[in-house]
Structure 1
């Protein structure tokens, strides 16, 4: 704000100087006596001390300018006025007060403070101290905060990711926030609440422009949904319209017949997708994005700046070289491809998954620990190889993971006592203090076991794994027994044709463009990147001979990399691809690079990729792009950039063509037998999203349901899943939880498992949820 004040006063001076040069004064403009003052700068700050300091700094800046312009004698008493420029309050959540949160019995709800640990008496390791509790708070009358009227909104909101919000802000705050911002996806980061409000103020005409600094995860799917919606929406705006109406002048709020604002079109007129930054809260180096939005009648062109070179100075700051392009800026902060216009193809669904999330380091065993935890070979079915992104890109730890899913606790204790005790002493202390009740209750199981992924892998000889976040996306085959961590995307295919296409330039370019970034590393988003990617087929020029060629090259590529890593312990995929990058660009190799080049046979790796790229481009019928795409030298940069843009345009067009085919009933399945079996074989009505058939089904009258005899609740989880699926299949009416509970008899807490079973059936394509309840899919 201090900098803004300086610029406003400078602009004021320039205007007055120009008027003077023309022989005029402010009166000519009808602005006699008007001047820029502190009252034109408003702010909201949660920290009371920071709010007071910000207002004081503004006064100091204003007085400095005043004395420079008019001298000391012109300063009137009192020197500082309390204009109340900076509101000391929350910027996104208003409330009347906070009171301790209480449970059904009236006891105060507490949770572990997140920082206090103690030594476990058995393992000697640090575990959460359950005695270190902090109270949770209920927010009284929570509502969206109202912002002061402003022509321009600028800000640098707090960088708190959605997964850290409860730890940083408290359960009560997050519940209240999400309860009143019902249009905001729960996956969105905290900063997106500021972005949404600023965008709404601009769309409804209350503000001319906004400019915000956010983390560069703005371009990732979980945040990009907010940007997508803001750029697409035109009209009254539902919740957004109601919230913005609170900011109207009082006369317009209460005046009968006065028009309410209608949302217009929002355009991004300036953006930097990725830029280095130092977080003011803790001094950490982060990556940020900058966006400026304004209201326009059509899609307005904007200025997009890319960082192409960064040099870190001795003081920790960075000199950044930027290049500028102009055009329509999409939600992914790119001019070339509008990811919000892509269609997730039915042909690709149910094949790619984010890996599993154990939630507890005690589940993971390094080779030296496996013998300590295990009692023998009879535990091999639950002690499985485990792979993380780092295992794929760096040196593989050859770790194992204890995977008890889907066994009940008493079964685990009876059949695997040694591993049960290992998890009991190393996982349960942490899970006991988790704020999510289901994670506490099922402490011996992964928090994300992903049954559909397990099902998809069950009949394969191997599957494809790729790091979710990495400088280079290196797709590779792994054993079907290997459990992929949540940092890995698992693609349930053992077809080396798929491995080859995924490892080629068409898909790698697509992945970098659609996936966003985490910090400065590309991110692989399996839903947006994989599910929307159109594989080559007979309509693009794919022949049996080309299919065999791609398979052979993919197998050679996978075998070559694994052989070099097996022969030389220090060779990693990151190291090999760093050297390959230098070879392609013509950069001189260092002594370390030369060693990796020799041990990894990187020039051989280059020829394999070149041949694979040629074969895949031919399979698409796009051989005209081969030479330009293969030239990574500085001299060929312009031609390659043009070829990349053309490649993306063709892939987007092919995505649209495939979506139209699927709507007409033709699906080019990746794993036809498996995918059709999962979806009951009904390609037209289930997989193409036939809206008319869906509407007819929803509108059909529901027949009266005859009383159904209760059945015993099965003891095993697979049998429980089948029993619930049977009820849905044979019941035409939608079923709520109470309806399903009434169809079974059992003792204990079996009802608590129903929501998880229903979610599993939905993921498997066996159930669907609508406003009335659950139905068979």
Structure 2
């Protein structure tokens, strides 16, 4: 329970302050600074600092300047009345209007919108404060919070009923403490922080009791049902659905007479189920029903066990956080999950980061429109129409259905419920201003309720907990708003909104899968753990098995109808699905989704596909999912692209965050994820990217700073140039391939071992013992190893011609291959697992070829001699000429590869299909080819020479130093040694010269001036200057345009072969038409279209004008001129309503959008 808060100010000081300010008049400019300064003195807070000329130093000051960017690039200057960095933006008014009147409410809302605009105009490096404060000087302070600080909506704090603090409320110690915390420690006001601590403590107590009862021999499910009823009874007494403290007092009595416990608690629960007088509590109790108290089966408890219930009951259940309670309760009640109880859980702030753009922000945008429409009616004295508009929106809000098709214990659904209740509270407040609102709505039984929040969950225990979580959250909210729960009976309703079933497939029947011996096939249950006898750490308990089934006639599950879909489906990669789920289930799922979801896709992508399909076909408005971070990679993009690129029914990504930190709700592990939100049609999106992360003590969520960019969001979660849809070019085809895969370390031999096996003495063996290189050989230090390569020989031929080498493989490779699951590898044990004949054919007759490490920090290319066999982690390009090597090694191609490729952890990956086959090479003159070729040869020779002279010198080390030189950073002693040994400054100059030559070959000397010499030439640079980012984006856009142009040429039969003698030997003269090296010109502006008709619907009018103002400021005349018959009167009416609510401002003749 909370301790009673202590007063900050003396009673006399508070009364003096109230008396001084309660009758004040005048303008806010004359009074607000004095009012706020005296408020600070009253609450023992520091006064604001004097303003500094350096605006960045004004962290706590009056009249803090902000520069507001308009959509057309112009700026407006604004001044925050009082700003405290990391705490609040405060906007002051002195309205002179009666409190709670319509005019006063509109003035305060306008002030809030102004403050919200100031927040969004703050410099990005200062971050957004958690609070907006709006004060009517000397009368009220209104608080709005946004604790995630990620750009979301500020909402009334602590709720829509109690967010306004009147002057006389300062007499309350809790109000004084709230305001003091607002100034000094605003994050301590985040209710989720206190709630999380309470929830953890309660869950730990329940887990201790559950463990004790299981030790007494009670079945897990019986214990779980018993404890769920206990905890809901504890909650009921704290929110006064039962007499306050009555259940805790009952438990205290039962501790003295534990032999009566089962009869007594059974009687209480029967009374709660049916309603009526409870002899146990000696009080009348409400009828709960809802299925929770049916089939009760109390468990006898010892005094010690009853004490654990008492400990749990003494927690303040009003403040248990439903968003995490379900997860912790699930862990507490399941013995297989209990080891995770101390692990991390998915923080509420992370859940909100997806729920808000998926569901709440679209509803709030609609609510903003409804408020303007109602205001326009009110300005014309059409109160009935305004009332109807508000009621219609409220009715819609109460009909919206939200589905989480993998709901777990309902944390996403609960957060959605709470935010919809908050929005509902604002709607009801606005209705109350007109005609009393809530009373009549209560009579209609119209309210946002758990019935609207639908879930599918395959785990029956989690599904049951999900229902309790939603009801606790719903009842908590009503109690918080009203201070009591005067609800119609039964309190709990069995809506069947949480379904315990599989979200992907249904089937007629299933039967255990049998092995060859007729025994049931089992796999680890994926949950149970045990302590390792060697390390003491938790490892999978392989004795905990679950049966693998065969599914008959599987078909796709039909999801419940919903308006919005949101959730966090399971994180299982494609390669681990069989191990985690069993062959039978995976085969059934892949059979059902064959042709729509490729087998290479991660498990979560099945949910993504179903939701996208529902949205595109009009069955839902929008969906948002947490997915694995590999969403951007090719094997998962194959799921996104058909939806995003469909010509008739396209899907748009309206919101995305790649590479976001996350806490897996299953095991508490820290992972990286992607968030995506999709809606039907062509629409712009918001891409947020993590720019920094920080951990704070006692906070589950990492502090995540996010950058924002708006535009078209592509399947690879980039924005701007559409590199994801770049087409593979015939000119680059059949030239790139990965190396061979050994599948056996025994193939590798040292040069000394190779000589012992006959190399140099046995004729022909030099064709079968070859030099071998992998990624580390290129980027670090080469091992100078060789491999035994019997490609082209049968086992008998190898044995008879090269018996020593054959025996080497027989002893070292065959034993391992005998256990290989793939029959072909077991049978052909003397050959590499993947011999790659296509690569061998590509490299035939070449003296050298180009190679790069598929996954590496720096994207580097090198020439390898033809006698070197490359490993499968090398991507190899079958070109021998130096100018091709130079173009591929240039900043132009490397930037393309970083944009079109993917990442593994923080290292770039070079998928050849995306990075090489789509890349448009320039057309070179002989002079350009010679210049680029000479520079490329210099770079390759320089690196090999310096590494030969200094065996410990690595390419990674050299290019790490080069990046520091580009950035102008000081080198440490080790780096100075590398610079001297590698002559890195000279190498850097050669690279810059190469980059300039390649830019010149494209005709893009302007980009050479903007980019050559800057950091990020070979490796991603996350925090780059805006000018560099803009130039790189321009480079990508030009390359995309060139790719499109080349693809169009190829469709007409004109192919610019890179190696025509190999790629198209039948063509006597390959097409080498010179491409004009100029930047693409913008397309001519479209011809004027027929003017639109001014819509009759007021809501559509508001939306149209707001969208137009979002593009650039307009006068009323220019807005009206966009429509037939120039509806100036209608335009002015909408502008007046927008201005009254602070959503638009007039400056001279022009209007601009505030939000």
Q: Which residue does 2:728 correspond to in 1?
A: 344
Q: Which residue does 1:657 correspond to in 2?
A: 1045
- C-alpha distance 144-9 of structure 1, shift in aligned 2 (>3 A): same
Normalised by the size of structure 2, how large is the TM-score? 0.51
The 8 Å contact of residues 665 and 684 in structure 1, kept in 2 or not, is answered as no
Task: Judge which range, 493-502 or 280-289, deviates more.
Answer: 280-289
- C-alpha distance 73-469 of structure 1, shift in aligned 2 (>3 A): same
Q: Which residue does 1:274 correspond to in 2?
A: 659
Deviation sequence 1:432-478 (CA, Å, 0-9, x none): 45444434433443333221111111211121111222222101112
Deviation sequence 1:476-518 (CA, Å, 0-9, x none): 1123233322222111112121111011111011111111323
The 8 Å contact of residues 384 and 481 in structure 1, kept in 2 or not, is answered as yes
Q: Which residue does 2:904 correspond to in 1?
A: 518
Q: Which residue does 2:455 correspond to in 1?
A: 43
Secondary structure class of the residue paired with 1:176: helix
The 8 Å contact of residues 433 and 440 in structure 1, kept in 2 or not, is answered as yes
- C-alpha distance 453-586 of structure 1, shift in aligned 2 (>3 A): same
The 8 Å contact of residues 348 and 531 in structure 1, kept in 2 or not, is answered as yes
Q: For the residues of structure 1 that align with 2:450 and 2:565, how far apart are their CA atoms?
A: 16
Q: For the residues of structure 1 that align with 2:782 and 2:416, how far apart are their CA atoms?
A: 52
* Structure-to-structure mapping, 1:666-705, within 5 angstroms: 666-677=1054-1065, 681=1067
* Structure-to-structure mapping, 1:197-236, within 5 angstroms: 197-233=610-646
- C-alpha distance 108-552 of structure 1, shift in aligned 2 (>3 A): farther
The 8 Å contact of residues 432 and 438 in structure 2, kept in 1 or not, is answered as no
Q: For the residues of structure 1 that align with 2:439 and 2:509, how far apart are their CA atoms?
A: 49
The 8 Å contact of residues 331 and 339 in structure 1, kept in 2 or not, is answered as no
The 8 Å contact of residues 366 and 399 in structure 1, kept in 2 or not, is answered as yes
Q: For the residues of structure 2 that align with 1:535 and 1:383, how far apart are their CA atoms?
A: 36
* Structure-to-structure mapping, 1:51-70, within 5 angstroms: 51-70=463-482
Q: Is 1:140 the equivalent of 2:518?
A: no
- C-alpha distance 455-78 of structure 1, shift in aligned 2 (>3 A): same
Q: Which residue does 2:914 correspond to in 1?
A: 528
Q: For the residues of structure 2 that align with 1:339 and 1:92, how far apart are their CA atoms?
A: 32
Q: Is 1:488 the equivalent of 2:874?
A: yes
The one of 618, 621, 632 equivalent to 2:1000 is: 618
Gaps of 5+ in 1: 116-132, 236-263, 686-777
- C-alpha distance 385-92 of structure 1, shift in aligned 2 (>3 A): farther
The 8 Å contact of residues 202 and 295 in structure 1, kept in 2 or not, is answered as yes
Q: Is 1:196 the equivalent of 2:196?
A: no
The 8 Å contact of residues 722 and 1037 in structure 2, kept in 1 or not, is answered as no
Normalised by the size of structure 1, how large is the TM-score? 0.73
* Structure-to-structure mapping, 1:620-639, within 5 angstroms: 620-630=1002-1012, 632=1014, 637-639=1025-1027
Secondary structure class of the residue paired with 2:1064: helix
Secondary structure class of the residue paired with 2:721: coil
Deviation sequence 1:218-270 (CA, Å, 0-9, x none): 222222122111012255xxxxxxxxxxxxxxxxxxxxxxxxxxxx3311111
- C-alpha distance 556-139 of structure 1, shift in aligned 2 (>3 A): same
Q: In the TM superposition, what is the alpha-carbon distance from 1:426 to its structure 2 partner?
A: 4.8
Q: Which residue does 1:462 correspond to in 2?
A: 848
Q: For the residues of structure 1 that align with 2:806 and 2:670, how far apart are their CA atoms?
A: 41
Secondary structure class of the residue paired with 1:386: strand
Q: Which residue does 1:581 correspond to in 2?
A: 963
The 8 Å contact of residues 405 and 445 in structure 1, kept in 2 or not, is answered as yes
Q: Which residue does 1:180 correspond to in 2?
A: 592
Q: For the residues of structure 2 that align with 1:50 and 1:493, how far apart are their CA atoms?
A: 58
The 8 Å contact of residues 361 and 427 in structure 1, kept in 2 or not, is answered as yes
Q: For the residues of structure 2 that align with 1:65 and 1:30, how far apart are their CA atoms?
A: 15
Q: Which residue does 1:359 correspond to in 2?
A: 743
Q: In the TM superposition, what is the alpha-carbon distance from 1:529 to its structure 2 partner?
A: 1.6
The one of 301, 307, 331 equivalent to 2:715 is: 331
Aligned CA RMSD, in angstroms, stands at 3.6
The 8 Å contact of residues 112 and 433 in structure 1, kept in 2 or not, is answered as no
Q: In the TM superposition, what is the alpha-carbon distance from 1:40 to its structure 2 partner?
A: 2.0
The one of 2, 8, 16 equivalent to 2:420 is: 8
Q: For the residues of structure 2 that align with 1:31 and 1:227, how far apart are their CA atoms?
A: 47
Q: For the residues of structure 2 that align with 1:426 and 1:160, how far apart are their CA atoms?
A: 35
Secondary structure class of the residue paired with 1:163: helix
Q: Which residue does 2:1032 correspond to in 1?
A: 644
Secondary structure class of the residue paired with 1:213: strand
* Structure-to-structure mapping, 1:14-163, within 5 angstroms: 14-26=426-438, 32-70=444-482, 74=486, 83-101=495-513, 137-163=549-575
Secondary structure class of the residue paired with 2:719: coil
Secondary structure class of the residue paired with 2:574: coil
